[in-house]
A and B are shown apart, each in its own frame.
Chain A
């Protein structure tokens, strides 16, 4: 059983090695698809196992917790692995249609698998220092993916991305060092118990803020988000999509994990701070998006804005708030990656992502226009799509906590989201192309068209399913939130009898 926890790390690693060896061979990309498919299957098995047996844990090399490295999956961790595999598979398939052979020969698909390994590792680890290591794995592969191809824009964006993320890394490490100095342990379950015996609570809150800064940079929280809109619109679209879907969400996941499991002592200070940062993040992101005039740059700023909602759910620190945060996390990954994919197709047939150079997509590519409306409306929170339920839950949680102002701002930000989505619609889809071109989907060769449209359709379908049948997903998120607020299962599984 414990092997289920190792598969999400080992399978991408093996796939990465194989695809790197076969990078000059067309078979390499198919191995990449097969490997990601295997990752998806095993992650679903992991999820099923967690649903059946509750939290599962595995001690690496049989070093019992808290001394060795523990891998552990609760509801949240398991569902994040599944969603990583889904996004990974969609991206790999999309890459077949988009990525030029030149990049493929440089080992593009291998780096993509290493990225997936880092993300999955971060979701299943139960050890703080190990989390740092997975962050690094993720970071170094994302550096490579971001600048691969080496255009001027990519290098410019890449420098900012690298520079600010390295600061976050150093901050994280310093936090880990000080926390270890205070408590003498790095196992997250053990830390939950150890921080309760710390007398110097002021020092603990300081460390908590260090973690907030470190993960805040990763999650693109206000005022630490500048690297994101500076870089996310520069790499190939598929890379933008997987970054947009997964990377910032790992930061949010880490915030949720650390601020429910470890730093839940001084909620009045840390979580209130986080609440207002979340509100500022929502507002700044959506205003930034309103000012942009490029398909991908609008979407990049929207990531920032949406991160605010998730962190808001966490900062409220109520069962409903966390439920909303978990639901939002899952919904957002699917929708955001999908919007970037659509931007990629629009670029392919329309020739640009600059809104002033796009047009005529509704008249000549109605299928794409329809598929755009699903995630765009979902992002803005139109019923009955998934985003409606996500926003509804978070806003309801804010109202229940009697945070009238916060709830009002969250709703207003939703309205502004609609504004920038209609801006894309009104510039890229509705009017004629400024140069009179007829951007048709049929212009893309059949095989590549299939590879690019298949992930878009599948993710849109998933958005509709979550929107139309939200009950099982909400129930799931409710249990996940319950486990976060009362981690006794998590702790007894990790520290208790050997599995």
Chain B
């Protein structure tokens, strides 16, 4: 199971990096979405997998009996999902607004804040 998740993480990362190398901002954003999900897997795997043992405590007990799944990474992943959802929503809105205002989502055409100087210079 670890191996499968690890490979999935790797594939997700590779796809994400490919998308993020694009000049198109929307592709960049989808790449970022995939990358943040790959990272969620990393955190999840970091807590080690313990299948079939939910971290539940029996009534009256103070600690779970036997070995149970690590609940902390799940809490971390949950937090990370919520945060990245907010950030992605903002980024999507920003890209939409940029498209409406500047008329493009191609990053190389966006030179308003940094107009080309007299001598050519390579940014980005």
A binding-site residues for B, Cβ under 8 Å: 129, 133, 136, 139-140, 143, 147, 150, 152-160, 162-163, 166-167, 169-170, 173-174, 176-182, 226, 229-231, 233-234, 291, 293
* B46 contacts A177, C-beta separation under 8 Å: yes
Contact with A along B89-124 (1 / 0, CB 8 A): 011001101100110000100111110010001011
Interface: B10 (CB within 8 A)? no
* A166 contacts B113, C-beta separation under 8 Å: no
Interface: B39 (CB within 8 A)? yes
* B94 contacts A143, C-beta separation under 8 Å: yes
Give the B interface residue count (CB, 8 A): 39
Contacts of B42 in A (CB 8 A): 174, 177-178, 181
Determine chain B's interface SS by DSSP, over half rule.
Answer: helix
Contacts of A177 in B (CB 8 A): 39, 42-43, 45-46, 73, 76
* B76 contacts A233, C-beta separation under 8 Å: no
* B113 contacts A133, C-beta separation under 8 Å: no
B binding-site residues for A, Cβ under 8 Å: 20, 25, 28, 32, 35-36, 39, 42-43, 45-48, 72-73, 76, 79-80, 83, 86-87, 90-91, 94-95, 97-98, 101-102, 107, 110-114, 117, 121, 123-124
Listed A/B pairs (20) with beta-carbon separation below 8 Å = A139-B87, A143-B90, A147-B97, A155-B101, A155-B102, A156-B98, A159-B107, A160-B107, A160-B124, A162-B94, A166-B32, A167-B35, A173-B36, A173-B43, A176-B43, A178-B42, A181-B47, A181-B48, A230-B114, A233-B113
CA A331 – CA B47 in complex, angstroms?
42
Contacts of B97 in A (CB 8 A): 147, 150, 155
7 A-B pairs closest in CB distance: A181-B46, A177-B43, A157-B113, A156-B113, A177-B42, A156-B112, A177-B46
In the complex, which of the residues B32, B86, B114 has the most CB atoms of chain A within 10 Å of its own CB atom?
B114
Whether A159 contacts B94 in the complex (CB less than 8 A), given A173-B43, A180-B43, A230-B123, comes out as yes
Whether A136 contacts B87 in the complex (CB less than 8 A), given A163-B25, A177-B42, A180-B73, comes out as yes
* A153 contacts B87, C-beta separation under 8 Å: no
CA A173 – CA B32 in complex, angstroms?
13
Whether A159 contacts B39 in the complex (CB less than 8 A), given A139-B87, A180-B46, A226-B123, comes out as no
Whether A169 contacts B87 in the complex (CB less than 8 A), given A177-B39, A178-B46, comes out as yes
CA A495 – CA B35 in complex, angstroms?
35
Whether A152 contacts B45 in the complex (CB less than 8 A), given A129-B76, A147-B94, comes out as no
